Amino acid sequence: MESRYQQLTPAPTVLPHGGKLVDLVVPQDKVSAIKQDAAPYPSLVLTHRQLCDLELLMNGGFSPLTQFMNQRTYNSVVESMTFPEHNDLLFPMPVTLDP
C-alpha cells in the first residue's frame, strides 16, 4: 500500500549574500556587561526606519555588512552598486545611519 504522504527531501541551503551570514546579536549572558561598558557613551534616539536598519544589520539581513556604510562604501554603492570591501560584490542599496 502506498503512503499518502511523500517523503520530502530537504532543499539545498542557500548561501547568504557575500557567502557568510552576519550575526551581531549579543548573547544574553553578555548583555549586562555590554550595557555597563556602554554607559559612559551618549545615547541616540532612533527613528523607526533606523531601528529597522539596525535590526537587519544585527540579524544578517544586510549580510555581508557588519556596520553602517562609511563614505567610501556609500559612494561605491551609489555610483556602481558594488561593495568594495568584498571584491565588488553587487550591493544595490546604501545602508547608512542618517541624521
Q: For the chain, state the CA radius of gyration.
A: 19
If you write DSSP's letter for every residue of the chain in order, what string do you get? Answer: ---SSPPPPPPPPPPPTTSS----PPPGGGHHHHHHHHTTSPP-PPPHHHHHHHHHHHHTTTTT-SSS--HHHHHHHHHHSEEGGGTTEE--S------
**1 pLDDT more than 60:** no
% of the chain with per-residue pLDDT over 70: 89
% of the chain with per-residue pLDDT over 90: 71
pLDDT tens track for 13-60: 788 888 889 999 999 999 999 999 999 999 999 999 999 999 999 999
